[in-house]
Chain A
Amino acid sequence: MKVVGARIPRYDGVAHVTGRTTYVDDVSVPGTLWAKALRSPHHHAGITTLDTSKAEAMPGVRGVITWKDVPLLEYGHLSALGIPADEPLLAKDEVRYRGQPIALVAAESEELAAEAVDAIEVGFEERPALFDVREAFDSDAPKVHQWGNWYPHFEGEMDRRQIRKGDIERAFDEADTIVQGVYRPAAIEHAPIETQVCQVVPEANGRLTIYSCTQALYFSLGVVAAHLQVPLNRLKIVGGTTGGGFGGKVDTATETMACLLVLKANRPVKWRWTREEEFLCSSTRAPWHMELATAMTKDGWILGQKMLTLHDAGAYARFSPYGLTKHSFHHTGAYSIPNLHFDGYVVFTNRTPTTAMRGFGVTSVSFAVETHLSRVAKELGLDPIEIRMRNANRIGDTSPNGVAYTDPSTIDTLQAIADAIGHELPADYRTMTNEPRAGELLPEHLVAQVGSTEGH
């Protein structure tokens, strides 16, 4: 191997650090109009009136779009996977989070566009908002979504994601100690240097060229084409170099609305979000509420785990059903736990919709399972590295949904860390490998885990 494995400098590194990379906002097209959005000032409200006529009549304003201008108003990020859509591109009769777009204006300057936004007449009827996922299921909770307060469209039209494995009652019955805890990682911002931005240009042949900061060119191509109800060839997305994404730019946040404005004004349009919009109106990493109970033997075996996850999706589903499913498939962390009972809900609240972010669905699990295991080790008086190595998944052990692991490395990585910090492991832990369990590392409750070839 000469090239693979080599420390080759980044392909576009010099351009990045010398300011010569062309990001979307560096694209300058003559005759470009500037876009600004009218956004909801309320967390939850009905829209009683919407009149854009004064804004449209202002000098220098070249177009205003509302929900009426969108050929397909609702198209889900995961529609291609059969997950139904719930989020209108522009709000129609209800706003469900502060910052939700209601109308978009194109004008000769950003200042004029902002003035025109202020001239749009919109009436609201405020409604009670829901922010605490733990209260969403109560009979007196505000109703915040057309599907109810939690996502109801998992396979079999189930309203939650379930994992069931083994015999959970027996595991807890046989446990020497049961440890329970609650884990709540926060919503955080993607905080890219480049805010959400696009530039759309109408071409002479009727095509639209979309300069986009998307993390997923073809994903965004499909989303824009679906809303516009046009074939893929009508659109050309130009991009591939993103000024920071971290998951937030998997959302197609600007492109579709800018295309509709271009079609209305027949002029190029640029829409770039302010830093404040990026912080307050773009999606965030989700906050998660996770409750864990583990059935432990006194010598540190995990017999079973029960878990409840409430995934705070914010106002709309976006990628949350996918994220929760991934979460459930990995909810045991790096360990082989033979008896499982997992229930997870995608809960709607009146906060900014959440979306993918680095580690999507699993960052939460890692925090919950690992912090919990540290607690368990302390509670049982066991070494925090040994308890992890003892329960680590091995080749042939099965995942929560019964698929055999082929290439685990939990034991190797922990041995390396033990070495690095000067933590002396007992001899049998120093020589432990990922090979299938045997001897005293194969207790009766794990026998069924060994030798499975399912999923190979």
Chain B
Amino acid sequence: MAKHTGRGIAAIEYPTGMNQNGDPSQCWIKVKPDGRIDVFAGTADIGNGSKTIQSQIVAETIGVPYDWITYDNSNTDSSPVCTGTFASRATFVAGKAAEKAALQVKQKILEIAGKELEIDPTDLEIVDGEVVAKGAPQTKLSVGDVAAAATWGHGELITGTGAQLKPYAAIIDPETGEVDLPPHSAISYAACSAEVEVDDETGEVRVVRLQQCYDVGRAMNPTLVEGQIEGGAMMGLGLGVLENCYPYYPSVEHRGGAFGSYLAPGMEDMPQIDTIMIENPSADGPYGAKGIGEMANNPQPPAIAAAVHDAIGVWITELPITPERVLRALEAKTEPRREGKKVVFDGELSVNAVSKGGITFEVPA
């Protein structure tokens, strides 16, 4: 009996926004008479932090403090279309709509401030909630005063709307998969190292450390990005070594119907996680952001599988890598089939071993 340690590496990519695009998000903004900003969007916050990120984008774009923003995504009467919170699109697509709406609001504020100050709006900028003459910072007017002037003096409502939609990329040749437009917007990238400890008596795999690097485009809020990356790592760990609806897949027997009979990762499973963020900005996202919410659970399972091989010399390619699978693999010590220049692993799992000819996988040589 012994514990063996191993390390595995993985590198992945993941698209931002719906595959083939065609997924609109919209935003509208109104300004209260004291300059405070109300943002309306239809983006559900599922814990991804989109309320925070979109509020940050609006505050930054207009030039007002973050705490001036209220964000309302509460219902479909007041909030415009958002295709939804999936496909890593809430910052990238919906955030872009918020940025566009905020730019309109900013322009409107500058126009009204220009009238009040009798200065061309192009010579004005907004800094920390004040409209300031470029090069003459003593000439200024608070955004609150501008909003009051709009409301009580000019009889105007300061609003802005924004919509983000990349057109749907149709597959024009289903034989090859050729598309008529780019089917993705930004792509995010990540690499991961997993260190594991495998007990060859119990078969247990313990993930000891995950070191991960993500290209996030732009870390809009580093705390929330780290939360996505670390939370995603735990889901990836669950995929890698713990979770399974059908423990004897494809059989449906022994399916767990409660947390007590379904093994999701808990705090005791959490390894040391080191997060490195790099920023290779996207062309389309707000402030160069990419979406990394979803990919955050993708690199760990293959890194763990490689680390298990590094530790005990067997490849386990059915997830999760449970103690039962580890012990069976150690017992079987299956070698790949070698035929000429072919090295064939996992022959027993192949469709060729199971189907009665209905489908096969043929590899030229």
Contacts and interface: CB of A to CB of B under 8 A. Distances in A.
A297 to B, nearest CB: 11
Contacts of A256: none
B2 interface: no
B364 A289 contact: no
B356 A140 contact: yes
With a 10 A CB-CB cut-off, give which of B47, B215, B365 has the most chain A CB atoms: B47
Interface in A259-297: 275-276, 279-280, 284, 287, 289, 291, 293
Contact of A3 (B66, B282, B296, B365): B66
A362 B358 contact: no
A163 B176 contact: yes
A137 B355 contact: yes
Nearest to A239: B44
A409 B215 contact: yes
B319 interface: yes
A215 B298 contact: no
A245 B85 contact: yes
A186 B251 CA distance: 12
A280 B183 contact: no
B215 A221 contact: no
Given A186-B318, A239-B74, A215 B187 contact: no
Given A4-B60, A135-B358, A384 B364 contact: no
User: Chain A at the B interface: mostly helix, strand, loop or mixed?
Assistant: mixed
B119 interface: no
B44 A241 contact: yes
Interface in A1-43: 1-12, 43
Given A8-B66, A156-B174, A291 B350 contact: yes
A12 B65 CA distance: 17
B19 interface: yes
A164 B345 contact: no
Nearest to A391: B11
Contact of A401 (B83, B176, B315): B176
A279 B262 contact: yes
A416 interface: yes
A95 B349 CA distance: 30
Given A10-B49, A402-B178, A138 B355 contact: yes
Given A180-B343, A276-B258, A325-B19, A374 B9 contact: yes
B213 A416 contact: yes
Contacts of A367: 239, 298, 301-302, 305, 319
Instruction: Report, as a range, how many residues of chain A touch the other chain.
Output: 35 or more
Contacts, number: 449
Contact of A407 (B83, B282, B306): B282
Given A279-B258, A362-B14, A8 B52 contact: yes
B167 interface: no
A66 interface: no
B252 A403 contact: no
Interface string B293-326: 1111111011101100100000101111000000
Contacts of A350: 252
Given A242-B46, A407-B187, A421 B7 contact: yes
B137 interface: no
A155 B172 CA distance: 8
Contacts of A384: 8-9, 306
A227 interface: no
Contacts of B258: 275-276, 279
A62 interface: no
B223 interface: yes
A155 B177 CA distance: 10
Contacts of B189: 334, 408-410, 412-413
Given A413-B215, A414-B11, A329 B177 contact: yes
Contacts of A276: 257-258
A371 B192 CA distance: 12
Interface stretch (B104-112, B150-158, B198-206, B242-250): B242-250
15 contacts: A1-B60, A134-B354, A137-B358, A138-B356, A175-B341, A180-B345, A240-B79, A242-B47, A325-B171, A326-B19, A360-B294, A370-B306, A374-B10, A407-B280, A414-B213
Which 9 residue pairs are nearest across A and B when measured between Cβ atoms?
A: A216-B84, A137-B358, A370-B302, A409-B215, A240-B73, A374-B306, A138-B358, A326-B19, A182-B346
Given A289-B351, A293-B363, A406-B283, 10 more contacts: A11-B49, A184-B249, A217-B79, A218-B81, A279-B262, A363-B239, A363-B297, A367-B305, A403-B183, A421-B7
